[in-house]
Structure 1
Amino acid sequence: MQTPLTTLLFLLPLLSNALPAQDSNPNPQSETRITPKQIEAIAPKSKSCDSAPSKDECATAAQAAPAISASFDKYKVHSRAEQAAVIGLMAFESKEFQYNRNHSPGVPGQGTRNMQSPSYNKKYAASLPDIADAASQASDADKVLDLLVDNAEYDFGSGAWFLTTQCEKGVRQQLQSGSEEGWEAYLRDCVDTEANGERRAYWKKAVDALGK
């Protein structure tokens, strides 16, 4: 007759096999954190705001990195290819995070780090419970933008919000491939802008900084 200890030792392998498999990556967000060093590699001017032309709008890499990371968590953007495209776009549009408002040609209400148009800022603000009511009652587009840029989470969250709510599934699938064609489709078919050389340079730096 087996002793209780012998029986337990015999059953342990069986019990182990019966347990549900453990996810080797139960928290995928933890692997998508963006660091200040990565932001600096993409946008070297973000190392400091000491020489920024608009200090009240400027954000350093140390400020941008956690806010961008939080936005990717919030909107579930865990593809490195998508992250690189969004950060590259924001770095270009904000002049390396020195601005969050459009000063030239100066479209009223255009801004956030994604430099969104007023119509998209209105949609974006409406999606944010904390400011939705205030945004709906705002007297003009600049007032809506004020509500967004006064909060770092909302200011830096525009890129991830736009990607996940305004881009079609097919565009995101192409972008997730990591190919240059996918990136071009994202700019052309969703952002509605040209994939020019300067934008490509920021995208490539973002791809290199974030890795695969």
Structure 2
Amino acid sequence: MGFKKTILLVSAFALTAFTAPVPDCPDEGAQNHAVGTTAALTAQELITISPATASCAGATSPEECADASQAAPALNKAFETYKITSKGEQAALIAYMLFESVDFKYKKNHFPGRPGQGTRMMAMPPFVKQYATAVAGAAAVTQAEAAGGDAGVNAILALANRDDATSFGSAAWFLSTQCSAGVRAGLDAETLEGWHTFLTECVGTTAAAERDPAWTAATKTLGGY
């Protein structure tokens, strides 16, 4: 694996902060990972996992909010694109994004309002730039960056947030390019230990208790428990 850069990912409200290594090349085991197939995620399943996703009524930034009916097809597209086929991995990514975006209400940071920070996983600008390059191309990112300063990083974020598919696709891209085969196997197993290992070893944050309810709900809902 090539040289790793350390980046900072922070939730929409800056409630958590953590570093995550972004490799210059994907993990070989992650590239080859595939476990079965699952039925398409439904809006009702998202609502069961997080009732707050049922509606955007009352959202403070309604232009950023995505309800379950918008999120479900975007998530299905991301899972298909990045070959996230196991229920355990899908549940983990849903839980991860629900926490970071406050139930899909935000796709850019508001408090303290860091320029260029966002997508549904609330990544800091260096990571957003890498993801935007993957989905929009280097030329588009270079053109956006030419605006300079805050305008430049905001323009790059706009590429990553250009539609629901890209905004919701960042976490699946993250998993498929950064997490080791061992971490992914832990998510496949649908164990709390596997979830916590994903958070601590791949995401690079603490296994905070407030992150667990969404994972528990997602795992039970997708697993039919």
Length-normalised TM-score, structure 1: 0.82
In 2, are the aligned partners of 1:112 and 1:156 still within 8 Å (CA)? yes
Describe the SS at the equivalent of 1:127.
Answer: helix
Amino acid of the structure 1 residue aligned with 2:173? W
Counterpart among 176, 183, 188 of residue 164 in structure 1:
176
CA separation in 2, counterparts of 1:141 and 1:32?
A: 37
What is the percent sequence identity of the aligned residues? Answer: 44
- Tell me the residue number matched to 1:14: none
Describe the SS at the equivalent of 1:38.
Answer: helix
Cα deviation per residue 1:34-80 (whole Å; 9 max; x = unaligned)? 10001111221111112111100000100000000110011000110
In 2, are the aligned partners of 1:100 and 1:111 still within 8 Å (CA)? yes
Counterpart among 185, 193, 210 of residue 181 in structure 1:
193
* TM-aligned CA deviation for residue 137 of structure 1: 2.5
- Tell me the residue number matched to 2:156: 144
* TM-aligned CA deviation for residue 190 of structure 1: 0.9
Number of residue-to-residue matches in the alignment = 183
CA separation in 2, counterparts of 1:151 and 1:172?
A: 27
* TM-aligned CA deviation for residue 131 of structure 1: 4.3
CA separation in 1, counterparts of 2:74 and 2:173?
A: 13
In 2, are the aligned partners of 1:49 and 1:58 still within 8 Å (CA)? yes
Mapped pair 1:57 → 2:64: yes
* TM-aligned CA deviation for residue 203 of structure 1: 0.6
Instruction: Give the alignment's Cα RMSD to 1 decimal.
Output: 1.4
Aligned runs of 1:1-212 on 2, under 5 Å? 31-128=38-135, 130-139=136-145, 140-211=152-223
* TM-aligned CA deviation for residue 200 of structure 1: 0.4
- Tell me the residue number matched to 1:25: none
In 2, are the aligned partners of 1:187 and 1:193 still within 8 Å (CA)? yes
In 2, are the aligned partners of 1:42 and 1:91 still within 8 Å (CA)? no
CA separation in 2, counterparts of 1:121 and 1:206?
A: 26
Question: Which stretches in structure 2 are left out of the alignment for 5+ residues?
Answer: 1-35, 146-151
Higher radius of gyration, 1 or 2: 1
Bigger fraction of residues in strand:
2
CA separation in 1, counterparts of 2:211 and 2:98?
A: 9
CA separation in 2, counterparts of 1:209 and 1:102?
A: 29
Bigger fraction of residues in helix:
1
Q: Which has the higher contact order (CA 8 A, sep 6+)?
A: 2
